[in-house]
C-alpha cells in the first residue's frame, strides 16, 4: 500500500505545483470573463487557526473546507456565511477601522455557479493579492502565490461545477525578512485581495501570449511573436491591424510558437498623440483583441529618444495610494485622478513606485499619453544572498513585464530602489536586468540609485550597477535629509557614465494648509522653497533627461508618526490625500511649462 500511496501523493504535489505555476493569461479583458468582485465573506484569523492545528501542523480540514455542522451536535468553530464581508478588490485596512494596522491572515470566500462549455478551459485569475495567497476551490488547494502586486491564475477546468462552487483564499500580509519587499518599507502594508478576481474562459487551444511592438530600432516595422497553448499547437494565425491595413499570416511551429516581422505605416504613439490601434491575434481556434500603441524608445549617449526625437521626461513619482479615499488604488477612476494631476502639472511621465501598479493604471496611461517607469519592490535592504528571495523578485519582475509588455506607455523597467552597493546586491540586480532584457528587449532598464559624496558639494553617480542600466535613476534629498534648500545652489553633479539621468526622487514634507516661513519645516512655504532651489539646480545638470519628484500625493506610511503633521502619512506629496494642491505643485507646473516650450536639444 505504502508505495502506491506515496506515489499518489507525489503526483498530487507535482500537480499542485504545476497548477500554481499556471502560465499567466494576459489581457483578460479581451476574454470571456465572469467577475467575482464585490462582497466576499471573510474571517480574520490572526493565529492562523484555520490553517494549523494546536501542534502547528497544517490541518487537513482547515477553513478552506467551508464546513457546516451536519447535525446539531457537530462542532464547527467558524462560519463564513455568518461572518463579516469585505469588498474585493480592496485592501482590508481601510474597510474596517480595527484592521487599519492588521498584519496577518484573513480568509476570503466567494460562492458561484459556472456552466463550462465543451472545448473550453477556465482559469481563476487574480489581479493582485497582498502579499501571499493560498487558493482553494471547493475545498481543494489550487496553489499559491507570493507577491502582492502582480497577477496570477490557476486552471480550474476540471474542478469547477455547474452549481455550488466556493473559492476560498487565505490571504496573509505578514512582513518577512526574506520577502520582496522585506519588513522595512516607507508605505502602508495593505493586505487583502487588492485586484479584481475573474473567471477567464478560453478555447481548448488558445492564444497564451503575444508581443506586437515596433521592431527595436525601427519606426516602420512591427515585430513580435505569438504562442498557443493547448492540444492543437500547429495552426495558421493572423495579426490584424485593420486601421493600418495589416493582416499578416504566419504558421506556428510544433510548440505553438510563431514569430513575425512586417512593414507597417502607423501613426506613432506619443504623449502628445497617444494613438492606439485595434490589434487582433486570430488563430484557427481563438481570437484576442488588444489596443496597442507603437513607439520607439532608445538612448544615445545622455540623450533619451522617443520615436527618434530627444525627449525630457517631465514626471512625478506616485504610489498606488487611492486619491480622495486612501487605501490601495486599483480602479480606472483612481488612475484617472492620479494621471489627471500628472497632466495638470504639465507632466508627460510618471514613476509608478515602488511596485507594479494596477493594470487599469497602465492602460489609462496608454490612453492618456503618460509615459511610465514601472518598478518592482526590490527596495532598500532585501536578502541579497538568499536564493529564495532572488527567485521571488525574479518571479514578480517577470509577472510585471509579462502583464504589461504590450503597453506603449511603459518605457522604463526599474529593477530596484535605493539598494546598497555590494557584491551580492550587484549580482542580484544584474541578474534581474538580464531577466528584463530576455522578456522585453525593446524597453530601457533603470534603477533608482544613491549618490556618492565626493565632498560636501560634489556629488557623483558611480554605482557599478550603472554599467548594466540604460538610464540612471538617482534619489537625492538635498534640502530635506541633506542640508537646507540653499545647499542646492552650491552642489555640482558628476556622472561616471555617458547615460541619461532621471532624478528619480527629491522633495520634502509639508502638511497642506500649514503655513510659515521658508525655513520652517512642514510648511508649504518650506516645501515650495525647496522645490525652487531644486529646480534651479536641476537646470544645471547637463546629463539630466527627466525628473520625478517625490511624490504626487501624500500616502500612508507607518514610519511617519509626527502628530498633527504626519499622523501616519508621508507628507511629501505635492497634493494632499484629499486632493488639495500644495504650493510646490505650482513650482513644478511652472518648471514643466518652461521645459515643454524651451527644452530643445539636438541629438548628438
Ligand atoms: C526614499 C524612498 C521612498 C521614501 C522617501 C522618503 O528615498 O525611496 O520610498 O518614501 O525616500 O519620503 O523618505
Q: How far is CA 260 from the centre of its chain?
A: 28
**Which atom of ligand 1 approaches the CA of 507 most closely?**
12
The string of pLDDT tens digits covering residues 179-223 is 999 999 999 999 999 999 999 999 999 999 999 999 999 999 999
**Long-range contacts of 247-255, Cβ-Cβ distance < 8 Å, separation of 24 or more:** 250/226, 252/226, 252/227, 252/228, 252/283, 255/227
Ligand 1 centroid, distance to 69 Cα (angstroms)? 51
Q: How far apart are CA 84 and CA 435, in angstroms?
A: 42
> How many other CB atoms are found less than 10 A from the CB of residue 279?
24
* Same domain? 265 vs 321: no
Q: How far apart are CA 149 and CA 358, in angstroms?
A: 8
Q: Using omega within 30 degrees of 0 as the cis cutoff, is the peptide bond preceding 31 cis?
A: no
Asked, for residue 252, whether it belongs to a domain, the answer is yes
- 164: domain CATH number is 2.60.120.260
What is the predicted pLDDT for the residue at 438? 98
Average pLDDT, the chain: 95
In terms of DSSP H, where are the helices of 225-357? 332-344
* Same domain? 548 vs 450: yes
Q: How far apart are CA 225 and CA 210, in angstroms?
A: 5
The string of pLDDT tens digits covering residues 395-435 is 999 999 999 999 999 999 999 999 999 999 999 999 999 99
What is the predicted pLDDT for the residue at 14? 37
What is the arithmetic mean of pLDDT over 275-282?
98
**Which atom of ligand 1 approaches the CA of 557 most closely?**
10
* Same domain? 27 vs 145: yes
Look at 273 and 6; give whichever has higher pLDDT. 273
Cβ pair 396, 282 in contact under 8 A: no
* Same domain? 39 vs 98: yes
What is the predicted pLDDT for the residue at 600? 60
Asked, for residue 482, whether it belongs to a domain, the answer is yes
Q: How far apart are CA 485 and CA 215, in angstroms?
A: 45
- Among 382, 505, 507, 562, name the best residue to mutate to test ligand 1's pocket (greatest count of ligand atoms within 8 A of Cβ): 505
- Beta strand spans in 6-84 (E): 32-35, 38-45
**Which atom of ligand 1 approaches the CA of 475 most closely?**
7
Asked, for residue 2, whether it belongs to a domain, the answer is no
The string of pLDDT tens digits covering residues 248-264 is 999 999 999 999 999 99
* Same domain? 159 vs 240: no
* Same domain? 172 vs 25: yes
Ligand 1 interacting residues, C-beta cut-off 6 A = 186, 354, 417-418, 475, 505, 550, 570, 572
Ligand 1 centroid, distance to 316 Cα (angstroms)? 13
- Among 185, 522, 570, 574, name the best residue to mutate to test ligand 1's pocket (greatest count of ligand atoms within 8 A of Cβ): 570
Number of domains forming the structure of the chain: 3
Asked, for residue 415, whether it belongs to a domain, the answer is yes
Asked, for residue 565, whether it belongs to a domain, the answer is no
What is the predicted pLDDT for the residue at 598? 78
Per the rule left: phi > 0, alpha: psi between -120 and 50, beta: everything else, 505 is: beta
Helix (H) or strand (E) holding 6: helix 2-20
Q: Given the C-alpha cell 500644495, which residue does it identify? A: 582
Cβ pair 140, 117 in contact under 8 A: no
* Same domain? 173 vs 217: no
Ligand 1 centroid, distance to 458 Cα (angstroms)? 22
Helix (H) or strand (E) holding 191: none
What is the arithmetic mean of pLDDT over 316-320?
98
DSSP state of 465: G
The string of pLDDT tens digits covering residues 466-508 is 999 999 999 999 999 999 999 999 999 999 999 999 999 999 9
What is the predicted pLDDT for the residue at 19? 41
pLDDT above 60 (res 603): no
**Final residue in a domain of this structure, among 202, 234, 260:** 202
pLDDT above 90: percentage of residues in the chain = 95
CB-count burial class (<10 Å; 0-12, 13-18, 19+) for 72: exposed
Q: How far apart are CA 250 and CA 550, in angstroms?
A: 47
What is the arithmetic mean of pLDDT over 133-159?
98
pLDDT above 80 (res 13): no
Three cell numbers, residue 321: 495610494
What is the predicted pLDDT for the residue at 224? 98
Cβ pair 465, 430 in contact under 8 A: yes
* Same domain? 489 vs 531: yes
- 268: domain CATH number is 2.60.40.10
pLDDT above 80 (res 20): no
* Same domain? 367 vs 476: yes
Asked, for residue 591, whether it belongs to a domain, the answer is yes
Across the beta sheet with 303-306, the strand order is 297-300, 303-306, 309-310
* Same domain? 392 vs 501: yes
Cβ pair 50, 170 in contact under 8 A: yes
- 452: domain CATH number is 3.20.20.80
pLDDT above 80 (res 45): yes
Three cell numbers, residue 116: 463550462
169 closest CA partner among 147, 199, 142 = 142
The string of pLDDT tens digits covering residues 354-404 is 999 999 999 999 999 999 999 999 999 999 999 999 999 999 999 999 999
Asked, for residue 444, whether it belongs to a domain, the answer is yes
Q: How far apart are CA 577 and CA 587, in angstroms?
A: 19
Task: Place 22 in a pLDDT band, splitting at 50, 70 and 90.
Answer: confident
- Among 482, 550, 570, name the best residue to mutate to test ligand 1's pocket (greatest count of ligand atoms within 8 A of Cβ): 550
Domain around 482: 315-509+521-553+585-602
Q: Kindly report the protein residue whose alpha carbon is nearest to atom 4 of ligand 1.
A: 186
* Same domain? 210 vs 198: no
Q: Using omega within 30 degrees of 0 as the cis cutoff, is the peptide bond preceding 172 cis?
A: no
Tally of CA atoms within 13 A in the half-sphere of 27 that contains its CB: 20
**Final residue in a domain of this structure, among 294, 326, 351:** 294
pLDDT above 60 (res 545): yes
Q: How far apart are CA 404 and CA 358, in angstroms?
A: 10
Three cell numbers, residue 152: 496570477
Cβ pair 436, 415 in contact under 8 A: yes
Three cell numbers, residue 49: 487557526
Asked, for residue 85, whether it belongs to a domain, the answer is yes
Distance in Å from the first CA to the final CA of the chain: 75
b/e burial code for range 560-577 (CB count within 10 A of at least 16 → b): beeeebbebbbbbbbbbb
**Which atom of ligand 1 approaches the CA of 185 most closely?**
9
**Which atom of ligand 1 approaches the CA of 417 most closely?**
8
Cβ pair 190, 130 in contact under 8 A: yes
The string of pLDDT tens digits covering residues 64-76 is 999 999 999 999 9
What is the predicted pLDDT for the residue at 367? 98
Cβ pair 330, 89 in contact under 8 A: yes
- Give the dihedral sign, CA 226/229/234/239: negative
What is the arithmetic mean of pLDDT over 300-304?
98
pLDDT above 70 (res 306): yes
Phi, psi of 360 (to 5 degrees): -60, -40
Q: How far apart are CA 500 and CA 312, in angstroms?
A: 10
Across the beta sheet with 452-455, the strand order is 452-455, 458-461, 492-495
What is the predicted pLDDT for the residue at 11? 36
* Same domain? 327 vs 191: no
**Final residue in a domain of this structure, among 294, 325, 347:** 294
In terms of DSSP H, where are the helices of 57-208? none
Ligand 1 centroid, distance to 517 Cα (angstroms)? 24
HEC states along 279-329?
A: EEEECCCCEEEEEECCCCEEEECCEEEECCEECCEEEEEECCECCCCCCEC
Amino acid at each position: 500500500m505504502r508505495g502506491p500511496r506515496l506515489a499518489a501523493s507525489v503526483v498530487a504535489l507535482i500537480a499542485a505545483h504545476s497548477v500554481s505555476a499556471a502560465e499567466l493569461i494576459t489581457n483578460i479583458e479581451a476574454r470571456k470573463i465572469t467577475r467575482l468582485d464585490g462582497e466576499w465573506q471573510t474571517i480574520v484569523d490572526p493565529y492562523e487557526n484555520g490553517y494549523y492545528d494546536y501542534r502547528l501542523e497544517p490541518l487537513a480540514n482547515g477553513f478552506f473546507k467551508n464546513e457546516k455542522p451536519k447535525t446539531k451536535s457537530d462542532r464547527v468553530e467558524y462560519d463564513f456565511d455568518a461572518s463579516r464581508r469585505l469588498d474585493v478588490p480592496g485592501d482590508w485596512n481601510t474597510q474596517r477601522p480595527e484592521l487599519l494596522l492588521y498584519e496577518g491572515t484573513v480568509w476570503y470566500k466567494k460562492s458561484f455557479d459556472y456552466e463550462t462549455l465543451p472545448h473550453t478551459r477556465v482559469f481563476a485569475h487574480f489581479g493582485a493579492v497582498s502579499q501571499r495567497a493560498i487558493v482553494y476551490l471547493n475545498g481543494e488547494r489550487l496553489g499559491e502565490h507570493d507577491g502582492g502586486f502582480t497577477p496570477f491564475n490557476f486552471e480550474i477546468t476540471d474542478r469547477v461545477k455547474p452549481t455550488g462552487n466556493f473559492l476560498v483564499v487565505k490571504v496573509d500580509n505578514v512582513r518577512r525578512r526574506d520577502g520582496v519587499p522585506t519588513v522595512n518599507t516607507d508605505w502602508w502594508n495593505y493586505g487583502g485581495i487588492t485586484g479584481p478576481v475573474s473567471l477567464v474562459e478560453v478555447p481548448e487551444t488558445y492564444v497564451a501570449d503575444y508581443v506586437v511592438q515596433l521592431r527595436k530600432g525601427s519606426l516602420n516595422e512591427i515585430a513580435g511573436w505569438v504562442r498557443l497553448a493547448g492540444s492543437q499547437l500547429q495552426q495558421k494565425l493572423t495579426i490584424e491591424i485593420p486601421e493600418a491595413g495589416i493582416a499578416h499570416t504566419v504558421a506556428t511551429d510544433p510548440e505553438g510558437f510563431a514569430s513575425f516581422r512586417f512593414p507597417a505605416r502607423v501613426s506613432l504613439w506619443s504623449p502628445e498623440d497617444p494613438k492606439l490601434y485595434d490589434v487582433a491575434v486570430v488563430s484557427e481556434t481563438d481570437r484576442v483583441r488588444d489596443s496597442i500603441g507603437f513607439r520607439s524608445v532608445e538612448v544615445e549617449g545622455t540623450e533619451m529618444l522617443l520615436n527618434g526625437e530627444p525627449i525630457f521626461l517631465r514626471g512625478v513619482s506616485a504610489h498606488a495610494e487611492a486619491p480622495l479615499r486612501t487605501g490601495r488604488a486599483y480602479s480606472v477612476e483612481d488612475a484617472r485622478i492620479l494621471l489627471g494631476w500628472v497632466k495638470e502639472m504639465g507632466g508627460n511621465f510618471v514613476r509608478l513606485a515602488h511596485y507594479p501598479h494596477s493594470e487599469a493604471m497602465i492602460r489609462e496611461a496608454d490612453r492618456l499619453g503618460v509615459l511610465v517607469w514601472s518598478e518592482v519592490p526590490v527596495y532598500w535592504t532585501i536578502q541579497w544572498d538568499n536564493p529564495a528571495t532572488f527567485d521571488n523578485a525574479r518571479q514578480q519582475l517577470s509577472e510585471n513585464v509579462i502583464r504589461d509588455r504590450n503597453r506603449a506607455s511603459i518605457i522604463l523597467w526599474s529593477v530596484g530602489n535605493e539598494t546598497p552597493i555590494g557584491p551580492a546586491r550587484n549580482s542580484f540586480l544584474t541578474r534581474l536586468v538580464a531577466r528584463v532584457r530576455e522578456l522585453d528587449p525593446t524597453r530601457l532598464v533603470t534603477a533608482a540609485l544613491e549618490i556618492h559624496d565626493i565632498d560636501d558639494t560634489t556629488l557623483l553617480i558611480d554605482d557599478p550597477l550603472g554599467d548594466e542600466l540604460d538610464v540612471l535613476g538617482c534619489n537625492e534629498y538635498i534640502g530635506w535629509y541633506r542640508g537646507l534648500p540653499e545647499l542646492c545652489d552650491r552642489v555640482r553633479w558628476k556622472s561616471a557614465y555617458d547615460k541619461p539621468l532621471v532624478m528619480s526622487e527629491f522633495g520634502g514634507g509639508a502638511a497642506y494648509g500649514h503655513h510659515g516661513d521658508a525655513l520652517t519645516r512642514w510648511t508649504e512655504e518650506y516645501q515650495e522653497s525647496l522645490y525652487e532651489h531644486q529646480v534651479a539646480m536641476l537646470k544645471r545638470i547637463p546629463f539630466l533627461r527627466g525628473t520625478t519628484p517625490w511624490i504626487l500625493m501624500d500616502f500612508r506610511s507607518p514610519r511617519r508618526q509626527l502628530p498633527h503633521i504626519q499622523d501616519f502619512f508621508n507628507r511629501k506629496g505635492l497634493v494632499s490625500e484629499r486632493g488639495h494642491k500644495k504650493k510646490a505643485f505650482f513650482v513644478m507646473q511652472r518648471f514643466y511649462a518652461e521645459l515643454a516650450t524651451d527644452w530643445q536639444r539636438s541629438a548628438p
